[in-house]
Amino acid sequence: MPRTCRPAILVVCALLIARSLAASPLSEDLTSRRAKLLDRLGPETMAILLSAPARVYSGDVDYEYRQDSNLYYLTGVTQEDTILVLMPGNVSRREVLFIKDRNPEREHWTGHLLSRDEARERTGITTVLPTSAFDAFLGAVLSREGYGSQFDGKEIAAFASALEGGRAKLALVMDAADAGDPPTRTQQLLQRLRDRYVGYVPVDIAPTLKTFRMVKTPYELEMLTRATDISAEAQMAGMRAAAPGAFEYQVKAAIEAVHRARGAVSWAYPSIVGSGPNATILHYPEADRQMQAGELLLVDAAANYGYQASDITRTYPVSGRFSDVQRDIYDLVLHAQEEAIKIATPGATLAAIHNRTVDVLKEGLLKLGLITDTSGQQYAMWFTHGTSHFIGIDVHDVGGRNDVLVPGMTFTIEPGVYIRQSVIDNLPKTPANLDLIGKIQAAVTKYADVGVRIEDSFVMEADGVRNLSVAVPKSIKDIEAFMRTGRTSGGAR
């Protein structure tokens, strides 16, 4: 640190620090997230978490910056060139935050960078150093020399002695880069350290962070609830903008206007607004088609607020009334979601929720003549994705299908049915398939281009799930009433 408190002004400094660290709900939450991790890591570990790199959009223009999710989880810092170091064995400085040096000229061009005091206030971390000092810091610590007066031999004794005994652990997020991808920043860091320092083994911190991140803190739940409230309001604005002759992008604009107007940083994922046959494209990226009377519109769109991603899908008729054909598929998907919700209780898994959904969809698809056999995989022609995923800092958040659900976990339940003629056209022409096609072609023709997905965001509580996105009309009756009036009928249900 460039300036230290001299004794004469120590009291004032202490007061200033106490005031500047008067914890916000976020910084309190961050501090307790790190405290849990420090405990878990133990005294012979040094953890290093790196920020995400900026990504080039085109020429000298970058994409909007998105912080690495694990670094955000532990620091709340959203600027690049940020590094968090945790040394649980240290005497008093167990957390060190490295942030980009301030630079008035750069800030004139690209905006304010956190001062050290601001970084302390935001993160609750008292030791803040410039990122430009990180390499020297790391080299000194790994050489057991200590770094400056703040990290002298006494301060880092526990880790230094672990290094000396060959027991030290270097905890990093070991993201697997895909084959052919350039090495990640963490891999590059390990490479640099490999031949130069000894006494440590690298360990992957990702599984530990995963288990922590899966159970949301009260602060995170508050942010996710707000993200979902905004998303729900936006979905309803989208429903009001949908009409025969309107373009998909008009619905998208109405939705994203609400996100921004209500203070969300951005969408949680690019909005999916697909009308007619586009409703059968899972991640339909364009939104340039003109909606026609009688078609369905599938809208999968939600906001990111406070780095929490909500996730909601609704499918509704642009003319305001479901046709009988659309109703058949919609009723089935809604029934599947309702049945899945019933078994979403503590102790269940996303896999179990998915299996229940599949069973319900199979029965329904058989009745509609879209499959001939519920024992096998025929249903997968029309239901092509998983039923659930966890949500949180990432819209597809950490956590797997076999993790046991406990209170505080947040996830979606989103069955869908998508009828595309091309699916049976592309089946291998085996005798069994030709027989199947002969039996289901009439139904496929009847339901062709109907795509329905229904998705809500849920939080697990002690006695079952709570639907955070319940405000958006979902039953056929409520949707048709909303499309007529632009209003929900009965308040919260």
Residues from 259 through 318 that contact Mn ion (CB under 5 A)? 311
- Nearer Cβ to Mn ion (171/358): 358
At 296, which helix (H) or strand (E)?
Answer: strand 296-300
- Nearer Cβ to Mn ion (37/301): 301
Please report whether residue 328 would count as binding Mn ion according to CB under 5 A: no
Quick one: which of 302, 122, 310, 337 has its CA closest to 216?
310
Draw the binding track, 84-123, toward Mn ion (x: CB under 5 A; -: no contact). ----------------------------------------
Residue nearest to Mn ion (CB): 311
Q: Give the largest CA-CA distance in the chain.
A: 92
Distances from the Cα of 430 to the Cα of 71, 211, 366, 436, angstroms: 51, 46, 21, 10
Using the contact rule CB under 5 A, the part of the chain among 230-238, 288-296, 412-420, 427-435 near Mn ion is 412-420
Please report whether residue 235 would count as binding Mn ion according to CB under 5 A: no
- Nearer Cβ to Mn ion (309/371): 309
State the alpha helices, DSSP H only, in 345-416.
350-367
Draw the binding track, 136-175, toward Mn ion (x: CB under 5 A; -: no contact). ----------------------------------------
- Nearer Cβ to Mn ion (282/325): 282
* Residues 425/433, Cβ–Cβ less than 8 Å: no
**Nearest-angstrom CA–CA distance, 423 and 405:** 34
Draw the binding track, 173-212, toward Mn ion (x: CB under 5 A; -: no contact). ----------------------------------------
- Nearer Cβ to Mn ion (72/269): 269
* Residues 96/47, Cβ–Cβ less than 8 Å: no
Q: Other CB atoms closer than 10 Å to residue 434's CB: what's the count?
A: 12
* Residues 49/84, Cβ–Cβ less than 8 Å: yes
Residues in the interface with Mn ion (CB under 5 A) total 2
* Residues 298/328, Cβ–Cβ less than 8 Å: no
- Nearer Cβ to Mn ion (302/483): 302
- Nearer Cβ to Mn ion (47/272): 272
Please report whether residue 412 would count as binding Mn ion according to CB under 5 A: yes
Using the contact rule CB under 5 A, the part of the chain among 134-142, 211-219, 288-296, 410-418 near Mn ion is 410-418
Strands 168-172 and 127-130: unpaired
At 336, which helix (H) or strand (E)?
Answer: helix 324-343
* Least distance in angstroms from the C-beta of 391 to Mn ion: 7
* Residues 309/391, Cβ–Cβ less than 8 Å: yes
Q: Would you tell me which residues interact with Mn ion (CB under 5 A)? A: 311, 412
